[in-house]
Each structure stands twice: as C-alpha cells, then as structure tokens.
Chains A and B, each alone.
Chain A
Amino acid sequence: MQEVLVDKERCLGCRSCELACAVAHSASKTLLGAVGEAKKPLKRIFVHQTEAGKIPLNCRHCAEAPCIDACIAGAMHRTAEGVVTNTGGPAECTGCWMCVMVCPYGVIRSEIAQRLAVKCDRECLDEAGEPACVRACQTRALKYVEVDDFSREKRERFLISLKS
C-alpha cells in the first residue's frame, strides 16, 4: 500500500498541505471558491510544532487500526485499497467519538454539530493518484510512496508509526 511519509527535516511549516487538503474536500475544489463556501471545508492533515521540528501529521492508516476496533457503530472500516475511513462502509458514523478517543496521532477530528468524525479519506487523489497534501508540499517533505519500496535506512528518516 502507498503511504504518505514525512521527511521532517524538510518541513518548513508553511501549512500548504493543510490548505490543499481542505480545498480538496471543498465543494468547489478551488481555493478561491472554497473560502467563499458557507460550509467551510475541513482539513485532515495538521502541521504541528514539536521540539524536534515541524511535523505534518495525518492518518497513518494503521495496520491494526485502533479506530476501527473502537467504532461502536461499525462505520470505521478499511477499504479494499487499505484506506481507513468511516464513510461508505457497512454502517454510518454516529459521532460517538470513540475513534477520536483512541487515535494516538490525534488526527481524527470531531465535527460536533454534524455528529461526524472527519479524517483523511484519500478522497483527494489527483489524476496521477497523488494525494492533495503531497502535491501541495513545496519542499517534498511529504511523499506518497509504496512503503515496501522504501529502503530501510531511508525509512528511518520518515515518520512511520508510533510503536517504532
């Protein structure tokens, strides 16, 4: 499966990925259109400042995803492509926030009024199959790669998972 990996040395904290993500999830799909939309689009990637630098973080689509375990409605599931999402599955999200409670990356947002958990759903791929955040990254701090193709030593520079 392809994953969005982060080369944290390269992140400048410009938040372009955040904007691109929100725009990709807007009705108009354009920045200038999206800012005018009554329902503001929601980003699913978050650039954080840590002692180790600036780090963009979005769903890792974990192999044994705690959010899937926790979902009491059966909405959170893994698609055939390996994407963990709570839309388009066997059940509807009811906004119980179990997934928000267990996601160790803190990348599932709670849309309280809508009673909807919102997360990276990869519904943003362009014609080349690249996610909006990766495409938006000017410094190539975000890369969309087949994880198996990744040499070990290179992989170490990237954010892989909490457990490692």
Chain B
Amino acid sequence: MHIVIIGNSAAGLAAARTVRKVAAGAQITVISDEPGPAYARCLIPEVLAGSRDLPGIGYVGADFYRQYGIELLAGQTVTSLDVEKRELTTANGRSIGYDRLLLATGASPVAPDWPGADLPGVFTLRKADQAAAAGRWARDCASAVVAGGGLVSLKAAYALKERGLPEVTVVVKSPHVLIKQLDAQSAALVEKELAKTGIKFVYGVEPVAAVKGPQGAVQAVELADGRRLPAGLVMVGKGVRPNVELARRAGGRVDKGIVVDDNLATSLPGVYAAGDCIEVTDMLTGDKTTSGLWTLAVEQGRCAGYNLAGLPGSYPPPLTRLNAAQFGALPFISAGDVRGGDETAVYQDGGVYRKVCFRDGRLVGFIMVGKVDRAGVYTALIKQARHIAGRLKDKVAGGTVTGADIVYSRTVPVR
C-alpha cells in the first residue's frame, strides 16, 4: 500500500510515524513544497531573531526519514489531485499515484489588502525562509512595525527586538494584546514584560498603508487615524487561512477549512486531511472553526495515520484554544474559554495571575501568568467536562488542584 502525505510538518509527520508503527510494510511518501527536513515551525521567530539558524530548529533527527522508511520529496509543490485515478501532480509535472492520501497542507498567512503591502520590507511569518529573509532585511533597519497583537505578532516583535532593532512598535486594533487568549489584566502583565525590552504599543487603530521610501522599499506605515510610524520593516500578523485549494479544486467539501468526518476523511474517496488545513468542532462551543495549533495537528496527524493504515479511529472534538508561551521572564498559559463562563475566580499577586472560568459547574477555561505549574491538570479538567464542586472546586479556584485530585476524584463526567 502506498500512502502519500502532502505536508512535512506537525500533522504530516505524526501521520507518517503512526502509519509506520501500525503498518510496517506500507510505502510512505511525504511531499512538501518547503526544502529540507521538517523544522519546528513555531520556533521560526528564533531564526528571525538570529539566535538560531534553520538547522538549529530541526524537528527530527538527521536519520529520521531513513529510520522510518519515509521517502521525502522536499521542495515540490503539489498542484492538482485526480481522485478518480488516485494520482497527484506536482509543479514540475511529476505524477505520483497513491492508495490513500493525506492532506496536511497547513495554513498560510492572511496577506494585507492595504496599498504598499507588496513593497520590499513587508513580511509575513509562517515559513522558515520568510523568517530568514526578514531577519536579513532587519539588519539594515532602525525601526519596525508589527501589525497585529496575536501570539505570532508578539513573537515577531520580540524577535525583532532581540535582533537589535532600536524601535519596534506593535499596532493592535483590539484594546489589548492576545485578545483571544487573555483578559485585560493578564494582557497588561504580558505587555509590561514586552515593554521592558523597549517594544512600544499602539492600540485601537489599524495600519491602512505601507509607505514607499526613496529606495523603493517600505519606510513607514500609515495608521487609520492618520499617524505615520517609521518602519524599515513591516511584519504583518493578521492570522492564517487554511490551505484548502487542492481539496477544493478536486471537488472536496470546504467550509472554514477542509471538511472531514469523525475519522478525518474528506468528502473525496481515499483522501484524509489533518492539521491547520481542516475544519474542526470546538469541544466547548460546538462551533465549527479552524484548528490552528501544533498540538492539535499532531493529534490529528496520528489519528489520520491510523485511518490511513486501515485502523479506524475517531477524532473527538478538540479544545481549540490552548496556548503557552514565555516572553522575557514571564510565562503564561491560556486554555479554553477565558471570557465566557458564569463564574470566575481570579488571583493576582504582582506578576502572578490566575483566572479560572466555570460554566454550568464545569471548568471551561483558565489563564495562568507568572506561574504555570500544573496547568495541565486544569486542561484535563476542561477536557473531562466533569462537574466540579465542593473541595475540588475550592482547589481548582485556589490554584492548588493536583493530578492526584483528578485521578482519584470519582465524579462522573457530564459528557
């Protein structure tokens, strides 16, 4: 059996590993339009910062593909699928047949629609080569503007500071950074930590144009309120869009992302999909949404791997909000729904902040800043969706719950 996987990253590799584990004899081909072996995508800000080079963020050992018997076709773009013939075509005209196919094509950054968005010096941050190019460009810059207050944007801003840019300004449309992950109090702590490095913040406005300089490259950013911020480099972080085109053009169902069933099968015969390119159902809200997390991509990749190898396994609706990071000396974790909920418990002591949110007696979200130990217990409680009351609730609210409490708490899960 020949299993072909498009995408050599979180989802694709997890799938390949799993197939190898459960179907020792399968032929596995992994195709990627990026060059070289897999790297840790989330660490590309370090390449931007100049603290590591591309080999420095390698995700697998040098011997990985040989060891797992995986044929890697790197630097090759798949341009179309023929699901009838079970065959795909690459940009250089090569046709490759398959028995089962996995689309693990990930997502691409949303490009800005403002004038000047295509000027030299305007970047997005998704791939290692972009990070490297932006890093090189940054060497000659005194100032940068980062558009967007999400995690990738902040990581980019931090990296540009590490790179040594004197002036880095983050332009955030929302009232505070990390609007999806944090509340105002916790965001203030993160902002304070970032501000220590000299990063500046502008809230409540959006860039409307990139302004061309005498050399033909970007030299400033114009904001909606008319202000102009000098910018030798502009980093745009306006989110990502799932890479769905291959599936769509082959006639597959696409909504927020590629639509898959419980077994991660697409509507196309013999074609599965996993990772950032698919649409998932959020376990808390029941809403259809994109996936967008490394963790989920790996989980889905593994689940898809079983299915590709002919061992059916279903993928339960995931928790789609799960973020952990550290800026400077400040770690933080945010999981689940941190704004909704009908009851919250908040603790703050200087740089340590904790908020836990309940809805209908269940834990639905939490934020931890400054101290993050045992966060996983809270994540597990959200996933278990169990009713939390009495002493367990006191411990959850008080930040003292431990793994032992949930292992031995006999409360029946609600669902």
Contacts and interface: CB of A to CB of B under 8 A. Distances in A.
A–B contact with Cβ pairs below 8 Å: the answer is yes
Interface of A: 8, 46, 48-53, 55, 57, 64, 66, 69-70, 72-74, 90-91, 94-110, 112-113, 115, 159, 162
A130 to B, nearest CB: 23
A109 B373 contact: yes
Nearest to B295: A70
Nearest to B390: A51
A57 to B, nearest CB: 5
B99 to A, nearest CB: 25
B405 to A, nearest CB: 5
A79 B406 CA distance: 28
Contacts of A110: 331, 371-373
Interface stretch (B107-115, B254-262, B375-383): B375-383
Given A90-B61, A91-B40, A102-B376, A96 B325 contact: yes
B20 to A, nearest CB: 14
A101 B402 contact: no
Contact of A97 (B42, B60, B298, B375): B375
A103 B403 CA distance: 9
Given A46-B402, A50-B405, A106-B402, A100 B324 contact: yes
Task: Please report whether the interface of chain A is mostly helix, strand, loop or mixed according to DSSP.
Answer: loop
Given A97-B331, A107-B403, 12 more contacts: A69-B14, A69-B298, A70-B295, A72-B294, A73-B40, A94-B43, A98-B295, A99-B376, A100-B324, A101-B376, A102-B295, A110-B373
Contacts of B322: 101-102
Contact of A162 (B302, B323, B371, B407): B407
Interface of B: 14, 40-43, 46, 57-61, 64, 294-295, 298-299, 302, 322-326, 329, 331, 333, 335, 371-377, 379-380, 391, 402-409
Contact of B326 (A52, A64, A95, A106): A95
B376 A100 contact: yes
B324 A106 contact: no
15 contacts: A50-B404, A51-B391, A55-B408, A64-B302, A69-B298, A70-B294, A90-B59, A95-B326, A96-B325, A97-B325, A101-B322, A105-B377, A105-B403, A109-B373, A162-B403
Contact of B403 (A57, A64, A70): A57
B123 to A, nearest CB: 21
A72 B42 contact: yes
B404 A57 contact: yes
Contacts of B325: 96-97
B407 A159 contact: yes
Query: What are the 10 closest A-B residue pairs judged by CB atoms, nearest first?
Result: A106-B374, A104-B380, A105-B403, A103-B376, A48-B404, A72-B42, A52-B408, A55-B404, A97-B324, A74-B59
Contacts of A74: 40, 58-60
B302 A70 contact: no
A106 B363 CA distance: 16
Contacts of A97: 324-326, 331, 333, 372, 375
A157 B408 CA distance: 12
Given A73-B40, A91-B59, A96 B326 contact: yes
Contacts of A46: 402
